Amino acid sequence: MVSPAQTKEIAYEPVIGLEVHAQLQTESKIFCGCRVSYGEEPNSLTCPVCLGLPGALPILNKQAVEYAMRMILAVGGQVNGHSVFARKNYFYPDLPKGYQISQFDKPIGTGGAIQYRVDKGEPQCCRLIRIHLEEDAGKSIHPESGESRTRVDLNRCGTALIEIVSEPDLLSPQEAYAYLVKLKQILQYLEVCTGDMEKGHLRCDANVSVRPVGQKELGTRTELKNMNSFKGVERALTFEIERQTALLRAGGEIEQTSLMWDEKKQVAEPMRSKEESHDYRYFPEPDLLDLTITSEWIESVRAELPELPEEKAERFLSDYRIREYDAGVLTDSRELADFFEQVVALFDDPRTAANWIQTEYLKTLNELKLSVAEFPVRAVQVAGLLKLVSSGKISGKMAKTVFAEMVSRAMSDQQRDFSPEGVVRDLGLEQVSDESALALIVDKIISENESQVQAYRNGKEKLFGFFVGQVMKETKGQANPEVINRLLKERLGN
Amino acid sequence: MSDYKSMTAAEIAKAVSSGQLSAVEITKEALELARTEGKELNAFVTLCEEKALKQASELDQIVKDDRAGGSPPLPLCGVPVAIKDNISYTGYKTTCGSHILEGYQPPYDATAVQNLIKAGAVIIGKTNMDEFAMGSSNETSYFGPVKNPVGDDLVPGGSSGGSAAAVAAGIVPIAFGSETGGSVRQPASFCGIQGLKPTYGGISRYGLVAFGSSLDQISPFARNSEDLALAYQAVSVYDPNDSTSLNYERPNYTKALDRDRKFRIGVPKEFFAEGLDAEVEKSIRDGIDRLRAEGHTIEELSLPLIDQSIAAYYTIACAEASSNLARYDGVKYGIREGGDKSLAEMYAETRSVGFGDEVKRRIMLGTFVLSSGYYDAYYQKASQVRELICREFESAFEKHDLLIGPTTPTAAFKFGEKIDDPLAMYLSDMFVASANLTGSPALSIPCGLTSDERPIGLQFVARRQGESELFQIAHAWERLA
Ligand SMILES: [Zn+2]
């Protein structure tokens, strides 16, 4: 028996497992032909099947199966040749059949792992237990003040989901966060899910327990629900780990239960016991045949898997000889990586391109809160701008001004010419590099400032800047500084 | 048109497509009978007068426009047909014999309905049934029991009692019921007509309100084998909207009827078990002797697991039903009780008021057998038994073309006789349930009468997709009788 005084000294460590639901971006729902779309008139995207009308039957969407297969293969899991759909039975108004078609003891995928890093630390690995296919429920729209009835919108009902269940391999809220970031990145690379947690396209429940450091067996776990951002998951876990640790230190016991995270109050509160005491009575779905996946099918999906972030970053290192850190940033999303490659295809200096994209380009995207796809300035314009700099037509400093003008034109009126060449021309910013033209100006400055020339030749070398300034004034700052330096040195040289 | 009642579907289709008879006149006759005799029997929940007359006049027009006879005649042209009230048909309510679905009208047609209409059938009405097809006597219907045309005090059998009575009374030559565990063969036997439970997957279930999804099949009734074959042919079509629909080329069933085949017929001794009425047994044994005399090979065999079929059947059917009937919750359609109370109370009150006792009993039974801690001992075990019965049947069909036995242990019983004794009621399905578990096609055909003139039913079971054999033996049997 350990006395409370002693328990206080014990250090505890958390153990976390995550269950992530990812909405698949299939064109139609998983068991009917209804279109998948958001923000439409409530209940407009429905049919007898997804409304759960008497007599309607499900038909499995092949695209949903392939999307699930992509994810399983991408994380190194096993696509099971034989899997079974099962009914998960429970009553809720947004579940029109009174059961959800899911998978239970024979999921489509088993095993696999997600590699993640916390900040810039060493790569870590979280094993996956399973990935299975299921249908989403509808949405209950609970009354605002003044209304007494809950309304039900079944547009979402029947949308394809995969549930990705991890082993309890995550040992801190930060690891859970990093795991989610990586998971989202993979889903996005595979183009199977937008990964948008705020919009509910990705949902995460967390199982968490704590145990004395060094102890092998797991403590009693609780389940956290209702987090709607990755940071929310991290905060909820931190809260719950502290609660469990404090409770154990005070000699208490953890009750196995489900807790709802309240983002406003920043606390996790137990659900009413009625809501969680479900016996789902799973049994094989008799309306669907067992799902048989041939090895040929698996191989054809595998053959079409896109390059994943790590592979892409490796290739960027060897193909473009950019820095490792830059390769990491540029492969953060598939669209950014593609953008970089489009720029490099037109502008043959990957390091400069990498720098530029990470600074000016991403800064502007962040400010405007736009994605690469949404941003009207494309790779061809960015490459064009970089070419103007490298050929000496404009200076690097001017390029920032030009880019700002390009963005402002593109954002306000795309009819207007927002090409870098057009902007440079319109603003009259073209750098003068023509030697004969500059030589005339340099000669003119020298002949007009004889006393300064004399002083310079007598050793007052600081005056060199004065001559540069004069030439710049004469050329309105558009003279190529390198050329001026050379010409001035030639002529002033003693 | 005084001979309508005695006309077969084949005769009506021929007469209508050749212009000798008007589909509208035939339809009016059928509707009139449904309104009079059908009402006496309580066979119909709804008459589909408006759509039926419209369909019929369109058919008459088609026939008129095609005087030259260019297009092939529709196989069921102008044939009045009734469908069980658990088959979705737009424009009319689908009640499933239950209070809970009050006011519900399906916004889509069952695939079988679409195929019937394509074949030229005229749907005149929706027939009364045991609530959600749960019952063997038609006494569980919210709309009151159907009477057996054979005798007012006799049950018509269930759950497709309305369809059976409508055919037996001559209101329609063809009607469709549904089987989950004998719900067509048993009433066919009680009413003295023929009923076919097809191969599982033979007819699309899309639009058939589910009871036990892995067992349910829309199933036809007729008064003779040719009509039964015509009825099945019209609706046995692969349907991509039903994952369990079988995709294979169906033979021409009516063409094959006359083939004089000698079958190897197995007689499972378990079909002559304890509880079999002596008169029924004698009649069936006599029938088997006549088949032997006709040159069919008759062999006894034992399929011991048939004895387990009732237990396995009720476990699986109730489990699936408990899930299938969860959608009747007062949220989307049908009645709602306690709408101003909490969600849980609304559910409880709606379902308490909406469902009858038998449905509640089976939902509770099904919920229990799927519950954690009991699943392995009940649902899982029943599924294993089912698998074993399938294997037993498969090996039997290696040696035999058909199995034979009584459809039911007794002839039609009286109202009130078993309704308070669920177990006795369930046992009336003891010979039919195995074919539902195995997905085998099975046909019930009249085989004499008891001393008090109640019909006796003889059942043939064939291997999966063996409907042709069933129609052939039924046709041969008719010539014997
Ligand atoms: Zn739909």
For the question of residue B183 being annotated catalytic, the response is yes
Q: Which residue has the higher pLDDT, A481 or A225?
A: A225
Summarize pLDDT for A60-108 with one digit per residue, the tens. 999 999 999 999 999 999 999 999 999 999 999 999 999 999 999 999 9
Task: Please check the confidence at residue B351 and state whether its pLDDT lies above 60.
Answer: yes
Query: Among residues B88, B136, B178, B183, which one is catalytic?
Result: B183
Whole-number pLDDT of residue B271: 95
For the question of residue B84 being annotated catalytic, the response is yes
Summarize pLDDT for B11-21 with one digit per residue, the tens. 999 999 999 99
> How far lies B230's CA from each of B29, B128, B179, B208, B257, in Å?
21, 23, 19, 20, 11
What's the half-sphere exposure (Cβ side, CA atoms, 13 Å) at A174? 6
pLDDT band for position A21 (cuts 50, 70, 90):
very high
Q: Would you mind telling me the total number of residues written for chain B in this entry?
A: 481
pLDDT band for position A8 (cuts 50, 70, 90):
low
Distance CA A482, CA A391 (A): 13
> How far lies B448's CA from each of A481, B6, B286, in Å?
115, 20, 10
Q: Between helices A435-448 and A450-457, what is the axis angle to 10°?
A: 90
Closest approach of B327 to chain A, Cα-based (Å): 5
Positive/negative CA dihedral, A471, A477, A483, A485? positive
Using an 8 Å CB-CB cutoff, list chain B residues near A142: none
Q: Which residue has the higher pLDDT, A199 or A41?
A: A41
Whole-number pLDDT of residue B448: 97
B88: preceding bond cis by omega (within 30 degrees): no
Element containing residue A152 per DSSP (H, E): strand A151-153
Average pLDDT, rounded, for chain A: 92
Closest approach of A270 to chain B, Cα-based (Å): 20
A289/B213 Cβ within 8 A: no
pLDDT band for position A171 (cuts 50, 70, 90):
very high
Element containing residue A132 per DSSP (H, E): strand A124-135
ipTM above 0.90, yes or no: yes
Task: Please check the confidence at residue B1 and state whether its pLDDT lies above 70.
Answer: no
Q: Percentage of residues in chain A with pLDDT exceeding 70?
A: 96
- Structural domains of chain B ordered from first start: 1-481 (3.90.1300.10)
B375/A91 Cβ within 8 A: no
Distance CA A373, CA A419 (A): 18
Q: Between helices B225-235 and B111-118, what is the axis angle to 10°?
A: 120
Q: Percentage of residues in chain B with pLDDT exceeding 70?
A: 99
- Contacts for B176 with CB less than 8 Å, ≥ 6 apart: B81, B82, B83, B84, B87, B112, B116, B163, B218, B219, B220, B221, B231, B235
Summarize pLDDT for B264-295 with one digit per residue, the tens. 999 999 999 888 999 999 999 999 999 999 99
Q: If you average pLDDT over residues A230-247, what whole number do you get?
A: 96
Are B30 and B22 in contact by the 8 Å Cβ rule? The answer is no
Please tell me what DSSP assigns to residue B159. Answer: S
Q: If you average pLDDT over residues A243-254, what whole number do you get?
A: 94
Whole-number pLDDT of residue A471: 86
Lowest-pLDDT choice from A113-127, A276-290, A420-434, B118-132: A420-434
Whole-number pLDDT of residue A394: 84
Instruction: Determine the residue of chain A that is closest to B95 in CA distance.
Output: A54
Radius of gyration (C-alpha) of chain A in whole angstroms:
31
* SS3 category, A202: strand
Task: Please list the alpha-helical segments (H only) found in A250-308.
Answer: 273-276, 295-303
In terms of Cβ atoms closer than 10 Å to its own Cβ (0-12, 13-18, 19+), residue B57 is middle
A152/B331 Cβ within 8 A: yes
Q: If you average pLDDT over residues B415-444, what whole number do you get?
A: 93
Whole-number pLDDT of residue A493: 76
Cα A157 to averaged position of ligand 1 atoms, centre (Å) = 8
**Fold of domain A435-492:** Arc Repressor Mutant, subunit A (1.10.10)
A99/B323 Cβ within 8 A: yes
The candidate with the shortest Cα–Cα distance to B309, out of B181, B425, B222, is B181
Whole-number pLDDT of residue A277: 65
What is the amino acid identity at position A167? E
The candidate with the shortest Cα–Cα distance to B27, out of B62, B57, B63, is B57
Summarize pLDDT for A25-65 with one digit per residue, the tens. 999 999 999 999 988 999 999 999 999 999 999 999 999 99
pTM for the predicted model, two decimal places? 0.91
Q: Which residues make beta-bridge pairs with B151?
A: B148
Cα B114 to averaged position of ligand 1 atoms, centre (Å) = 20
Q: If you average pLDDT over residues A276-293, what whole number do you get?
A: 92
Produce one character per residue of B339-360: b if its CB has 16 or more CB atoms within 10 Å, e if not.
eeeebeebbebbbeebbbebbb
A56/B108 Cβ within 8 A: yes
CA B434 to chain CA centroid, Å, is 15
B322/A54 Cβ within 8 A: no
Cα A216 to averaged position of ligand 1 atoms, centre (Å) = 48
Task: Please check the confidence at residue A274 and state whether its pLDDT lies above 60.
Answer: no
Are B103 and B333 in contact by the 8 Å Cβ rule? The answer is yes
Identify from B180, B238, B239, B332 which residue to disrupt to test chain A contact, counting A C-beta atoms within 10 A and taking the largest count: B332
Total H helices, total E strands in chain A: 18, 17
Whole-number pLDDT of residue A396: 83
Are B55 and B181 in contact by the 8 Å Cβ rule? The answer is no
Whole-number pLDDT of residue B432: 97
Q: Between helices B23-41 and B9-17, what is the axis angle to 10°?
A: 150
Q: Which residues make beta-bridge pairs with A128?
A: A166
> How far lies A165's CA from each of A81, A153, A233, B4, in Å?
19, 28, 15, 66
pLDDT band for position A3 (cuts 50, 70, 90):
low
Whole-number pLDDT of residue A1: 46
Q: Which residue has the higher pLDDT, A158 or B70?
A: A158
The candidate with the shortest Cα–Cα distance to B221, out of B164, B274, B273, B170, is B164
Whole-number pLDDT of residue A4: 52
Task: Please check the confidence at residue A169 and state whether its pLDDT lies above 70.
Answer: yes
For the question of residue B159 being annotated catalytic, the response is yes
Most confident of A311-315, A454-458, A480-484: A311-315
Whole-number pLDDT of residue A343: 96
User: What is the location of CATH 1.10.10.410 in chain A?
Assistant: 435-492
Task: Please check the confidence at residue A325 and state whether its pLDDT lies above 60.
Answer: yes
Q: Which of B86, B244, B379 sits opposite A287 (nearest CB)?
A: B244
Average pLDDT, rounded, for chain B: 96
Distance CA B108, CA B449 (A): 42
Using an 8 Å CB-CB cutoff, list chain B residues near A48: 106-108
Q: If you average pLDDT over residues A178-203, what whole number do you get?
A: 95
